[in-house]
Amino acid sequence: MKEKTIKTIKGISIAVLVMIAIVTCLETYFWSERWQNVEWNEEIIGWQRRIIVSHIATTYLLVAVMVTFIINIFRGLKKGVIFSRCNTIVIYAGAVIYALNSFYAYTAMNAATGRYVHSIDTDMCIYPLLIIILGLLHKLAVEASEENNLTI
Amino acid sequence: MEANSSRPLRWLKGLTVAVSIYCCIYIVLLTVRAMFYIGWINIGPEPVKWIEGHEGLQCTVLSIWWFTGIAFNVLMLTFTINSTKKLKAGTLFPASNVGILFGCAGAHLLYKIATQNMPILFDARRSITLDLGYDELLITTFICIFAIVYKIAGMIAEENSLTI
């Protein structure tokens, strides 16, 4: 691989990591603000806590998945293997966690205002589907690159 | 390669069909809803309460809401169809899809801003708000990251002349 391409990939990956760091800081800041304004309802307080905590947890999980993906790219750059099988699994995991995160994000809005309502939005299906498409393309790239390595 | 990749390819085709159906249904529903608001169909959600002196703003919000909603779904449709089409030609991550993904992120952001401003149509508010909420910004950021990752994969595939 060309030196210039490696540098560009590293640059873009670092930019993505910075974006992720900013998003994580914003998430932490916003939830520390929101937590004080949550309208706790004594009858459903357990459910409210569970939904809000699940939302925060899935957001951090999603961040962890993205960071793992970038770290795997860096590892691959060192070894010379960019399309690794483990990154395909990481992408699929990202799709599942994203779907859960969307569900908890919309429901947490209701929980924060003391309403016992589970929200489902079309965003919950369409983005995970797009991520799965990326995962399938990645899988094809893995198979193609493995086959290329076998070619003499 | 053919035998190995047939399963993911089949899945890709299936998902493309699913996304295409979703986008088409969404476009139709969005248009029907816009018709309800304008008052062309009299059953369903209440039409826009036109306020003298504010018609321009109301019209802008309604048009942006409809147009960006349609644009977002058309772009997603283009992304999935483009992916499968180029895959048949052997290209895994076509460069043209990166622009489409960034377009998706922009359209999503504008659509959510317009949705947030829908109360203007029913005289519940009379000024534009850009208060989006953290989650919407998060989704836009994720789409941008998705586009960047796609770009990286495309660069690597091109560099290694990776085709299937």
Nearest neighbour of B153 by CB, restricted to A138, A143, A148: A138
CA A105 to chain centre: 13
Asked if the C-beta of B19 comes within 8 angstroms of chain A's C-beta atoms, the answer is yes
The two structure tokens encoding residue B80 = 């999935």
Angstroms from A48 CA to nearest CA on chain B: 18
The stretch A61-70 carries a mean pLDDT of 89
The two structure tokens encoding residue A22 = 């900013």
Nearest CA in chain A to B152: A9
Neighbours of A151 (CB within 10 A): 5
Contacts with A1 from chain B: Cβ below 8 Å: 156, 159-160
Contacts with B157 from chain A: Cβ below 8 Å: 141
Which tens digits make up the pLDDT trace of A75-125? Answer: 887 887 778 888 899 999 999 999 998 888 888 888 888 888 887 777 788
The stretch A10-18 carries a mean pLDDT of 82
3-state class percentages of chain B: helix first, strand second, coil last, to nearest 5 = 75, 0, 25
Give residue A50's domain range: 3-150
Whole-number pLDDT of residue B68: 94
Whole-number pLDDT of residue B133: 65
Which tens digits make up the pLDDT trace of B127-161? Answer: 887 776 666 777 787 788 888 878 888 877 777 76
Q: Is the pLDDT reported for residue A151 higher than 60?
A: no
Q: How much is the ipTM here? A: 0.75
The two structure tokens encoding residue B92 = 């895994």
Domain ranges of chain B: 2-159
Residue where the block lists tokens 């796609």: B150
The stretch A27-33 carries a mean pLDDT of 79
Burial (Cβ within 10 Å: 0-12, 13-18, ≥19) of residue B78:
middle
The stretch A67-80 carries a mean pLDDT of 84
Q: Total structural domains in chain A?
A: 1
Asked if the C-beta of A103 comes within 8 angstroms of chain B's C-beta atoms, the answer is no
Low-confidence residues in chain B, pLDDT < 70: 1-5, 132-135, 161-164
Separation of alpha carbons A136 and B93, rounded Å: 11
Q: Is the pLDDT reported for residue A3 higher than 70?
A: yes
φ and ψ at residue B40, rounded to 5 degrees? -75, -25
Asked if the C-beta of A15 comes within 8 angstroms of chain B's C-beta atoms, the answer is yes
| CA angle, residues A44, A45, A47, in degrees to nearest 5 | 65
The two structure tokens encoding residue B118 = 């829908």
Whole-number pLDDT of residue B163: 65
Lowest-confidence range among A63-72, A138-147, B65-74, B97-106? Answer: A138-147
SS3 B32: helix
Lowest-confidence range among A69-73, A142-146, B156-160? Answer: B156-160
Q: B79 to each of A33, B84, B87, how far by Cα in Å?
A: 37, 9, 12
Whole-number pLDDT of residue A137: 85
CA A124 to chain centre: 13
Count of CA atoms in the C-beta half-sphere (13 A) of B16: 18
Full 3-state SS string of A49-89: HHHHHHHHHHHHHHHHHHHHHHHHHHHHHHHCCCCCHHHHH
The two structure tokens encoding residue A15 = 């930019």
Angstroms from B39 CA to nearest CA on chain A: 26
Whole-number pLDDT of residue A152: 53
Asked if the C-beta of A148 comes within 8 angstroms of chain B's C-beta atoms, the answer is yes
